[in-house]
Amino acid sequence: MAATSRAAKSFLLRASRSHLPALTSISSPLHHKAFSASPLTLRYLSTMKALVYNGNNSVTLQDKPLPDIVNPSDVIVKVSKTTICGTDLHIRKGDVATCSPGRILGHEGVGVVHKTGASVARYKEGDKVLISAISNCGTCEYCRRGMYSHCTTGGWILGNTIDGTQAEYVRIPHAESSLHPVPAGADEAALVMLSDIFPTGYECGVLCGKVQPGGTVAVVGSGPIGLASIITAQMYAPSKIIAIDTDPNRLEVAKKFGATDVVDSSKGAAVADVKAMTEGKGCDSVIEAVGIPATFDLCQELLAPGGVLANVGVHGTKVDLHLQNLWDKNIAITTRLVDTTTTPMLLKLVQSGKLQPSQLITHHFKLNEMEKAYETFGAAAQHGALKVVIDVD
């Protein structure tokens, strides 16, 4: 009986580590007596660690219930790697009204399929998957127009209106169209960059900004999104890519990643500097990748006649549109939330070695270091941080 009890306890320990469904007892085959799990063991089997938004500029690591299937199209993913986005910082500050206190944050990640809903045929338990920041049903009016970010039952919901990926497990709605298979042997940490920042920089910045061969491009903000725009803009062979930031270290990184020129806007002469680089015209494509009034003002001054201002930054307050200076310049201004329609193409570029997202990763943390990770990413200039990866597994 003693040997059987030890075996039962060993099984419970292994089960708790793998997060198997909660067990109340294990029967001894010799004496038909039940070994009861302790309350601590049962709690461990039914909960997970997750980073929770508390409101008041506060996030903490907490025990939360394991997610379960809600709809037949759901998949539960055991997260192996996730990251922190600038949007998560906006949520923490209270800039995103749709995200309420108590929400598990995060909308990016890579993991392994843990459980599937009844209608899911494309994925099975054990499959490695890339989680898209945008969930889409594929059939509503907006999805049929390629506007997945406005899906009537999806869009940007992870870490916003439903619990997100900064946890050990996450529920993915519309899983067949909101997950992507991870190629064998792929660098999982690198692929986390394809959940959001590379599709965002490419779709909202480069495509909306109409970057063209021989054109001139200004990217205001050399954070992860701005750098992703700089990297993917090179696919269209513009004659100039001008990186603009107040941080000399980030400008050095921007030059390393493909910017032809850099401008330190803290010196107060950014407009004059850019005009000097573009024969006095300004830029054909101006990408705003910060999300504050000062940079939106700057972008308007950098536009050449016929130019496009592609706003990518998340704005938490109103900005001014200086139509008195723009009404006769034939310019266009675009806004967009990423749709992630280009993720399969970007995955192919990563597989071919033509796109290397891992170059943006500067820090790694464990899940139990999430609060420290937020501190590091929130003071990126101080810590030299670009993208931080959370190694959940």
> Would you state the pLDDT for residue 316?
86
What beta strand segments (E) does 277-360 contain?
283-288, 303-311, 332-335
Structural class in CATH, domain 50-196+340-391: alpha beta
In whole angstroms, give the CA distance from residue 85 to residue 126. Answer: 27
* Residue 248: both structure tokens together: 């000399």
> Would you state the pLDDT for residue 393?
83
Which residues in the chain show pLDDT less than 50?
1-43
Of 338, 89, 333, 335, the C-alpha closest to 197 is 338
State the DSSP string of 139-178: -SHHHHTT-GGG-TT-BS-BTTTB--SSBSEEEETTHHHH
Indicate the helix (H) or strand (E) that contains 297. helix 293-302
Where do the structural domains in the chain lie, given as residue ranges? 2-37, 50-196+340-391, 199-335
Residues constituting the chain: 393
Residues 6 or more apart from 44 whose CB is under 8 A from it? 16
> Would you state the pLDDT for residue 56?
87
Q: Do domains 50-196+340-391 and 199-335 have the same CATH topology?
A: no
Q: Per-residue pLDDT tens for 261-303?
A: 999 999 999 999 999 999 999 999 999 999 999 999 999 999 9
* Residue 3: both structure tokens together: 């040997």
* Residue 329: both structure tokens together: 């310049």
> Would you state the pLDDT for residue 44?
54
> Would you state the pLDDT for residue 5?
46
Topology of domain 199-335 in CATH is Rossmann fold (3.40.50)
Task: Provide the 8-state DSSP code for 208.
Answer: T
The neighbouring-strand residues paired with 112 are: 78, 128
